[in-house]
Chain A
């Protein structure tokens, strides 16, 4: 919400600079986003009157002007603009002037002629045509500016004399005199050879001695478009130039008030509970309370007296009273549509609203001032003089003011006449009743509609407007009458029409003053303050929450809540009002008291932290990925079409397909990140994520959200066993026992020969291995990717108990190394398990130390070497004992696995 401080000052006098104003308002609850001094960048620019213009002696397009800038002596300024004339009032940047964008003006010479400043265009003042619609410049095609595209073949000869035929009835014409008219147009006298012509035109670049292209039959001066000419053929006949002022100002006046650059605009963030602050008056109330200065509101006075009796002209019906608590309307006759005056346009512009015409501008002005959306209908299109506020019929159509055809439903409220809808209630008017240039009679609507109904309709139609945004927050129904009267008052003030006496006011609710109990002791108890009761009542008084008789009792009392403060409902709300003006920053600072609580992490949270630090110790870095993925991800990781885990929670209104379902696997997220790093040419990447998956079928229709530990890596020398080492380290740290890795050939995301299920006993903890090359290729990765997916819950369940000390060995161990030859298919795991089974009590450890294939070992076989540690707890064992044990082991290897000593 923007606020013009000039406009604000009509209601409350605040003597504070922008910074102090913003700070005070922010601290009392109206958060200021930005402040803007509209004239901060303009200095030393005044109104000047062009006294004399001469062509530059050394230029074919520049003018030397003598400008009266309110000083004793005229200022000489050189300009290249062609739209000015002697007598014009123009913005004049004097020597050492400052213009928007940080542009500095210094005196200097232009082609040898002194220029003591600069005449300014609209854009040089930071303005555009919306600020001053009359400043639009149209240019005539001046033949003396003509530069043929092909110099050898000019369309018009350089020496064309007056009367030279250009085409059809268009002749060259020499300007003999130009007179400026009051309305900004010009009377041009010219000689077209056989006759002289006098033409009134808005084309602004014509001066004595210029040669025109004149359509002698239509008495029309040709533009570039008329000649089908390109701009480069007439390089100086451009629709741009100096901003010629048609304002009430005199030479020497500061330009800022003339162009409203003396205003300051403050932008607020208004919270949804305070729709009353979406208005000048609402913010004035807050400013008055904040600075504790009086608020001066204006009571609209309408003279009225137009012909006709309102009750006969207009009838209003509200068949759905619950959706329209109040409908207030007045009528204006003999309307003269035209632009609104400068002061009104400036105010609208400073608040970011585009001026349109006087009647529409009045409705916008009142909406800004009172916060009450208004609408103006053209009465002649309200058939039967009847306004019906009803639900739309199913499929009913209405073309709204923005030109779009809207298909309506009975959930939407329309303003209709006897036969058809003429507006979408609280959102936008209909094209069929729009105020147009020849509108004569106008109906002003100032109504209160049900917020939810307006919100839903606006949402369904995708057309949230300024009005609907206000209605949906819930407006004060008591505001409709003052607003409509203000609109009528403005009509009279602007002389835009005559107001019909009387008001149509349909009240579908009973306005009741609301009172609640104020208890200063309880407010202090909630805030932790020690504020005097009388002070509290005084703070409340500032926002017009009154006690009866306006006294300040020393205890609880009934207080009345103003109609525009629907957000104040109970004690806590009053506490906030008190705190706002007592100052949040004056509330003391205390540490919590009361019963102490033991804070901390749950065992699961602790385990999650430990798991994270363990992964980092293993060299893996943490990533955070989105919980939602694309359904195509399941294809990318190779899942079968009937994979049950494809059943995912679907977001019905996703941002896009890529983030439309809740992941049931973390693998695509990890692969995405690996692939991204790979594409960035990052070498040796090791990552982990502890993140949730979302499985349908949780309690209350929610999801089960188990966590997964996902590892992912690639890089030089990184292989299956690097990953397995990390997984083993993690499992070891969690003291998980009976860990086995079983080859897994049927996980479609993984290399069928390089994938293992990870088990603790019978319990599956997860899967790990090399990503299937085809899956990697789906991610545009052509190196080996490795991933492990471990269930966090399974890890927690399999977690071993705490450490228990085992006595250190007191007797020496004997080591024995064996190498056995076996078939390729026999796994190291099988060999090791066999050794452990066959070894007696003395066998304490078995470690693989070599696998050999090649010379000396038959094709299809391999030699596997283990180092075994044998030890007794109560004595030193002998070599013979150790050999005996090894013999048993070798026998078992031979018999069970056909592995013989090499």
Chain B
């Protein structure tokens, strides 16, 4: 049994004008214990809504979550608020993108790390503070016994993100959801944080769901990748396979649209591949393939029938009528 199984997740939002925004529309995936899975896609593809849905952080209404999200076999969507609170920050925790806005400015760092420990593990305040110092040491903050008494504004962006990670890891979660954890950071700081995450994964052994739009980060950290487009999963494969042998035209487009460092030395083509057009509106039910409107190879078939996710190669799924199929061992 996988640690997390998301089965036909549908997160819809009612819009003020009476319509429905299908932010996530039938997403299924699973995460094994200790595995790192990346969800990539552009803004509005539903990747953040997916992460919020797993933790049930979507306000209902206007949101509506359907489908199943099984964590250790139990469906999170059927749990009471009380049961859910026992899981949030304890067994599943989250790192948000903006370390500036996700920390409470009027509470000390130690207080914020200790909060989850007092709540979930019943530690006393003093024990929690001692553990907070330990967590700060773990995430590589110098002089942790001094820092623990400081406030978020006294820390730099990279430090704040380390504190966020310390909070997330305080209760030894089995699953860590990281929503764009390095997007707001500079490259040299990003390298520090990615290094820290890799290192901690080995030591703590938590499974990670990494949500990002940066394919470079994906290539460095993830083991398996899910590509989302307009609320649906269009491709899923192990990381090496996805980068070397992309099957879906959208994935191919994404990979072609990013310049690689060192391009000037190898004399690669001087023009980036464009994906023409725009992401479709999610307010109407999309007939056919979600990518058909922008796909260079779309045909009548694509516009009428939505391609199902199929195994196109070992452990490699893609939702495209025309993706080449390789021998798949049954």
The answer on A and B forming one complex is: no
Residues in B lying within 8 Å of A, measured CB to CB: none
Residues in A lying within 8 Å of B, measured CB to CB: none
